[in-house]
Structures are given as C-alpha cells and as structure tokens.
Amino acid sequence: MRDDVLELLRGANRHWSSSLGAILRELLAAAGGAAELLAQLPEQSPDATAATWLTILGRAVARGEAAPEALHPRVATVAIVLLRNEFVVRGVPTAPDDVLVEIVDEVYLPLVRQRGATPS
C-alpha cells in the first residue's frame, strides 16, 4: 500500500508541478473551493479523486494492509488533500519528496491502519 500511495502522490506532484499544473493551481486558488468550478476540472472533481483513492485503499484492505473501516471517501483522500494543501495554501511550486513520504508515513498509513482499532 505504501508504494501505491507514494506512486499516486508522486504522479500528482509531477502533474501539479508542471506548466499545466501551475494553471490548475491558479484555478484552484481562484476557485476558493467553489464546487461548480472544481467540478469542471475532471481530475479535480471530488468523485473522481475519491474513486481512485478508494480503489487503492480497497485493494489494501483486501490484502490486509488497511482496516475495512478506512473505506470512507474522506479517509481515503486524506493524502491527496494534504498534498493539494501544499500547493494551494502554502503556494509551493513543487512538494519535496520528503514531504510526500511524511504525508504517507506519518498521517495516511497510521490513519488507515488504525481506523478500526479500539483504544486500549
């Protein structure tokens, strides 16, 4: 699962760091979360994003790498939302790889693995 998630984040990072990505970043910043505008950008639509991440997470659940309770769109998309935050809120032109690794190792994996765990 870790490799799959990092691959998705690295691909998104390359895309958002490109010339086209710079335009998308400007549109996202200008949209200010306006659902109507974001829905016009297929790869930015919440449904398309959630579907991709739910597929990856569903495969991880089937392999026993994630808790079944993690199969929720908000949980599944946490990593990509955090990456998007780097671009839109922080204004970075590209996210360093160590940031991607941190998102995966420090936030995403603990979240999806412990989602169904009961506190001791």
Write the pLDDT tens digit of every residue in 16-53: 899 988 887 777 677 665 556 656 655 555 677 899 99
Q: What is the per-residue pLDDT for 20?
A: 87
* Helix extents (H) in 18-88: 19-31, 35-39, 46-62, 73-76, 78-88
DSSP state of 112: H
Q: Residue 63: is its pLDDT beyond 50?
A: yes
Residue 114 confidence class, pLDDT cut points 50, 70, 90: confident
Q: What is the per-residue pLDDT for 90?
A: 86
Residues 39, 52, 73, CA angle at the centre, nearest 5°?
A: 75
Tens of pLDDT, residue by residue over 90-112, are: 888 999 999 999 999 999 999 99
Residue linked to tokens 């599944």: 76
Counting Cα atoms < 13 Å in the Cβ hemisphere of 100 gives 18
Structural element, H or E, at residue 11: helix 2-17
The domain spans of the chain are 2-114
Record the pTM.
Answer: 0.81
99: Cα separation from own chain's centroid: 13
User: Around Cβ 3, how many Cβ atoms within 10 Å?
Assistant: 8
